[in-house]
Chains A and B, each alone.
Chain A
Amino acid sequence: MGLVLVPLLAWELLARVGPWPRWLFPDPLAVVRSIAVMAADGRLGAAVLRSLSRLVQGFAISALLGVPLGILMGRSALALRTLRPAVLGLQALPSICWLPLALLWFGLSETAILFVVVMGSMLAIAIATEDGVAAVDPLLLRAAGTLGIRGLRFHAGVLLPAAFPGVLTGLKLGWSFAWRALMSGELLFVAGGLGQLLTQGREVLDAAQVMGVMVCIIAVGLLVDQGLFRFLELRVRRRWGLVEEPA
């Protein structure tokens, strides 16, 4: 635990003895003070809420499109051959590159920024879901066949749960891609949220605010990733019998 303090001390030291002016390289306490000020006047809370609501919307759309797309690719050889090159190709494109097109199509609107978020995470979710479906034990599929489980009951009750550990990995990955895409979008296209607060800090030459917002962005990312997703993953792995039960 004490080791966490070492980088903090190094930061403090750099701020004190470094050759750069203090206002450009604030010490940790100044950053904490700046966070407290932003929290107190409500700017921080509003920005976090704005960003998170966009993220949840974009992520929900990504999951609702990406998971079925992945299942389709995992179950149909034709769909896999047709779609996989396109999906892999588009996945190689940094999602912020969609912003100019999104602005042309949707104007300066919420839709444009949601579009960038969806394009950033949907394909990652689809690819991981396809992997998860391909890794399903064929014995389970055969068992479902002999038990006469077909149609929606098969897809929702057998295929999806059987592939779920893989799907969850995809959702986790998709979430972090969505978070990145959203931050780039909010930086370039100013309409509230943490990204805009970051830009504001630069405009008023307040490095402490910039750093403070960065810390908040890291905190939100870690909280969701390590808190929510790790918790879910552990529960699923335990339920599915993929880890040893703690005695």
Chain B
Amino acid sequence: MLQALRSFLSRRRRPGIDMLVPRRAPPGPPKIDVSRVGHGFGVGPKRVVALKDVDISVHHGEFVCLLGPSGCGKSTLLYALAGHLEPTGGSISIDGVQVRGPGPDRLLLFQDPALFPWLTVRQNLIFALRARGLSRSAAEARARAYVSLVGLDAFLDALPHQLSGGMRMRVQLARALAMDPAVLLMDEPFAALDAHTRSQMHLLLQRIWIRDRKTVVFVTHDVREALTLGDRVVVMAARPGRVLHDLEVRLPRPRDPDDEALVLMSRRIRAELAGADAAGAERRREEEATHARTSAPGGAGAGPPAGLGAPG
């Protein structure tokens, strides 16, 4: 793995190379520690390995993007972080405490804005804040402040179905930020938006992140989105789901997705992903051949069968 990384980084000396470097962990204990996490779906020969020996540590205030093709286990990992899913192997801890189920320190943002349709924008925020124990007046003030932060003051009393997709996503973001979680987990939150709205959301999210410096784990399959938003891009590959590279992005913010250096970086990462995909397919063919030769009972068939896509 290290070998591959070194060759990947020394292959081309071009502008942009100093802006995308292997990640070096800062001193101090990490906020999130993912250690040798594995996860499989199903049993027997149909078992799909969604994650295999994944190690990631995230420090306080980092914006980490998990990037990879569908089936690389990035969403599985995110749901495990959120506590909505228990990995079959390894451990995940936050501030040194093992994750068991959802908790108030983490908040998950979905691809579909999961607003309560019978409540207005204001009520959606207040309802969530009241559940966290805020008084009515405190919740009201906080709801107003965060709706205003995402620029929807005029829509405080609108119902979700009266808003556009982008506006609903902004409400979901406002609701999540108002809850003030230590960690924000985002599952391809902008994937369903049109390009224009998406880039607006990128600017908004960067603006808010520069202000609050929250710890964010952001899942995406869009290379440029990852490079635009993340301090770090963890590149993952599928079958089995694993970490290929853990890279630091050293570009000034706010970033422009059409920036030359960024486009160059994204091209390199895409090439790398395509290479990993091809290598994976090759290895599976070999494994299958070996498996066919040693398929007597007890023969070790560790790899998942080819042709089965892990759920993304």
Interchain CA distance A26-B189 in the complex, whole Å: 70
- For chain B residues 245-266, which have a beta carbon within 8 Å of chain A? none
Task: Say whether A140 contacts B82, CB under 8 Å.
Answer: no
Pick the contact of B114: A139, A150, A164, A241 (CB < 8 A).
Answer: A139
- The number of A-B residue pairs with CB atoms under 8 Å apart is 57
- For chain A residues 126-169, which have a beta carbon within 8 Å of chain B? 139-140, 142-143, 145-150, 153, 157-158, 161-162, 164
A81: interface (CB < 8 Å): no
- Give the residues in chain A near B301, CB-CB below 8 Å: none
Contact with A along B119-135 (1 / 0, CB 8 A): 00000000110111000
Smallest CB-CB separation from A149: which chain B residue? B131
Task: Say whether B110 contacts A240, CB under 8 Å.
Answer: no
- Give the residues in chain A near B162, CB-CB below 8 Å: 241, 245
Task: Say whether A240 contacts B114, CB under 8 Å.
Answer: no
Interchain CA distance A140-B117 in the complex, whole Å: 9
Interchain CA distance A158-B116 in the complex, whole Å: 8
Interchain CA distance A164-B117 in the complex, whole Å: 12
Interface residues on B, range: 20 to 34
Distance in Å: Cβ of B168 to nearest Cβ of chain A: 11
- Give the residues in chain A near B102, CB-CB below 8 Å: 145-146, 148
Task: Say whether B128 contacts A149, CB under 8 Å.
Answer: yes
Task: Say whether B131 contacts A153, CB under 8 Å.
Answer: yes
B108: interface (CB < 8 Å): yes
Task: Say whether A146 contacts B118, CB under 8 Å.
Answer: no
- Give the residues in chain A near B131, CB-CB below 8 Å: 147-150, 153, 157
Task: Say whether B159 contacts A142, CB under 8 Å.
Answer: no
- Give the residues in chain B near A164, CB-CB below 8 Å: 118
Interchain CA distance A11-B194 in the complex, whole Å: 63
Contact with A along B87-122 (1 / 0, CB 8 A): 000000000000000111011101010111110000
Would A241 and B84 be within 8 Å (CB), given that A146-B108, A164-B118 are in contact?
no
- Give the residues in chain B near A143, CB-CB below 8 Å: 110, 114-116
Interchain CA distance A128-B114 in the complex, whole Å: 24
Distance in Å: Cβ of B205 to nearest Cβ of chain A: 18
Contact with B along A42-79 (1 / 0, CB 8 A): 00000000000000000000000000000000000000
Smallest CB-CB separation from B130: which chain A residue? A153
Would A139 and B110 be within 8 Å (CB), given that A146-B82, A147-B128 are in contact?
yes
Task: Say whether B116 contacts A139, CB under 8 Å.
Answer: no
Would A148 and B132 be within 8 Å (CB), given that A142-B84, A143-B110, A241-B159 are in contact?
yes
Smallest CB-CB separation from B161: which chain A residue? A241
Pick the contact of A148: B104, B110, B116, B118 (CB < 8 A).
Answer: B104
- Give the residues in chain B near A240, CB-CB below 8 Å: 117-118, 161
Task: Say whether A147 contacts B107, CB under 8 Å.
Answer: yes
Distance in Å: Cβ of A128 to nearest Cβ of chain B: 18
B69: interface (CB < 8 Å): no
Task: Say whether A146 contacts B107, CB under 8 Å.
Answer: yes
Smallest CB-CB separation from A239: which chain B residue? B118
Smallest CB-CB separation from A154: which chain B residue? B131
- Give the residues in chain A near B82, CB-CB below 8 Å: 146
B160: interface (CB < 8 Å): yes
Interchain CA distance A150-B240 in the complex, whole Å: 36
Distance in Å: Cβ of B157 to nearest Cβ of chain A: 13
Smallest CB-CB separation from A236: which chain B residue? B118
Smallest CB-CB separation from B162: which chain A residue? A245
Distance in Å: Cβ of A165 to nearest Cβ of chain B: 10
Interchain CA distance A241-B124 in the complex, whole Å: 15
Known: A145-B84, A146-B102, A164-B118. 8 other contacts (CB 8 A): A139-B112, A143-B115, A146-B84, A146-B108, A147-B175, A148-B132, A150-B131, A240-B117
3 smallest A-B Cβ distances: which pairs?
A241-B161, A143-B114, A146-B108
Could you list some 23 contacts between A and B, CB below 8 A?
A139-B112, A140-B114, A140-B116, A143-B114, A145-B84, A146-B84, A146-B107, A146-B108, A148-B103, A148-B131, A148-B132, A149-B131, A150-B131, A153-B130, A157-B127, A157-B131, A161-B116, A161-B118, A240-B117, A240-B118, A241-B117, A241-B161, A241-B162
A residues with a Cβ closer than 8 A to B are 139-140, 142-143, 145-150, 153, 157-158, 161-162, 164, 239-241, 245
B residues with a Cβ closer than 8 A to A are 82, 84, 102-104, 106-108, 110, 112, 114-118, 127-128, 130-132, 159-162, 175, 179
